[in-house]
Amino acid sequence: MSAALLFSLLVAAAPPGYDVDHAADDRAIYQKLERATAALAETGSPLRKEERLRQCARARSERRLELPAAGTTAITPEASYLRAAEAGVLICAVYQCGKCNRWHPSWSSGFAVHASGVIATNHHVAAHESAEAMGALTHDGRFLPVVEVLAARRTHDVALLRVDLGGGSPLKPLPLRDDAPAGTRVLCYGNPSNGFGCLTDGILTRFARMEGSERKGAVFMQISADYGGGSSGGPVLDDRGNALGMAASTSPILTPARTSSDGKPAERTLQMVRHNCATSRALLEIAGAR
């Protein structure tokens, strides 16, 4: 099959958000996943909260995952969007607040790393303390219940989830690459603020050790590509379609605190935002591939 024919077939089945003929209907997409995950919680999730939290203590997958090799051929940003959308998932965790009987959603992102139903996301997503059920939605509308946490690492904010494919077609995973240097052009795919399938661009700005009681010096990647709440777990790609890591958190940098001439605290303004990303190396380690 020629590259031109393959690309035309991909566009014919374009994911929501790709072009003017396939605009994302965010409300319908999010409602579908919320209702399916709430129904899972009502009928009894195959992965109960207590077991999920126990599984989050697994530092490494009990079976070594054979992951796809990193790609070496450059692809276009348009092709990168299609590839990220095919691998990417919207994740919903539902919980009850104790003040009403409704199920409340918590949103995040993730992406396939193994065709059998293994999805990468953040530890803070997998370890949601109140969630009674979790489910994922693919770009073509398939609902996939989360049935297991294969491995997770709090310090590096990475986790591998197993979803039930229900006899459906295999997932289309992204290969992982862990040797990209600062200055590499990157694209970030995720679902920020109830917006399905958003792609931003930038560069890999640096790698840094993160301090604090949770991170304990773990290495994170920082990028200039933008993302927001709901993008946690969304892949960061190079120009070959490899995942270099995934969105994890942001750190705003404000102007220094000072006092104005009238003795009142002066307003602090935003200077920039650091975008902290979990690395593919950390994912490879918990997958037993390193």
- 265-282: average pLDDT: 93
Name 171's Cβ contacts closer than 8 Å, sequence gap at least 6: 87, 112, 114, 115, 116, 117, 118, 119, 138, 165
53 plus 87 within the same structural domain: yes
- 214-233: average pLDDT: 97
pLDDT at 142 over 70: yes
224 plus 123 within the same structural domain: no
How many C-beta atoms lie closer than 10 Å to residue 88's C-beta?
28
Report phi then psi at 54, rounded to 5. -65, -40
CA distance 137 to 150: 19
Q: What is the pLDDT of residue 290?
A: 81
150 plus 51 within the same structural domain: yes
The reply to whether 16 falls in a domain is no
Q: What is the pLDDT of residue 250?
A: 96
CA distance 154 to 122: 9
Nearest to 128, CA basis, from 194, 55, 62 = 55
90 plus 195 within the same structural domain: no
pLDDT at 261 over 80: no
Percent above pLDDT 70 for the chain: 96
Q: Count H helices, E strands: the chain?
A: 6, 12
Average pLDDT, whole number, for the chain? Answer: 94
Return the CATH number at 274. Answer: 2.40.10.10
Question: 66 is written with which tokens?
Answer: 């054979």
68 plus 192 within the same structural domain: no
The tally of domains found in the chain comes to 2
Q: What is the pLDDT of residue 7?
A: 46
pLDDT at 241 over 60: yes
Q: What is the pLDDT of residue 165?
A: 98
127 plus 64 within the same structural domain: yes
Provide the CB-side half-sphere exposure for 168 (13 A, CA): 14
Per-residue exposure over 238-260, b if at least 16 CB sit within 10 Å of its own CB, e if not: bbbbbbbbbbbbeeeeeeeeeee
The reply to whether 276 falls in a domain is yes
- Within the chain, where are the H helices? 3-12, 26-43, 49-55, 77-87, 123-126, 280-286
pLDDT at 258 over 90: no
Report the range of poorest mean pLDDT among 22-26, 91-95, 139-143, 267-271: 267-271
Nearest to 242, CA basis, from 40, 5, 79 = 79
The reply to whether 224 falls in a domain is yes
Choosing from 133, 163, 193, the residue where a domain stops is 163
CA dihedral of 81, 117, 234, 39, whole degrees rounded to 10? 110
- 90-111: average pLDDT: 97
Q: How confident is the model at residue 265 (pLDDT cuts 50, 70, 90)?
A: confident
- 217-235: average pLDDT: 97
The reply to whether 179 falls in a domain is no
Report phi then psi at 198, rounded to 5. -110, 135
Q: What is the pLDDT of residue 259?
A: 76
Q: Please give the C-alpha separations between residue 88 and each of 53, 78, 159, 178, 243, in angstroms, as whole numbers.
A: 23, 15, 15, 19, 11
Q: Which residue has the tokens 């290969």?
A: 175
Q: Do the beta carbons of residue 36 and residue 135 sit within 8 Å?
A: yes
Q: Which domain holds residue 279?
A: 185-286
Choosing from 163, 196, 223, the residue where a domain stops is 163
41 plus 151 within the same structural domain: yes
109 plus 52 within the same structural domain: yes
Q: How confident is the model at residue 132 (pLDDT cuts 50, 70, 90)?
A: very high
pLDDT at 284 over 80: yes
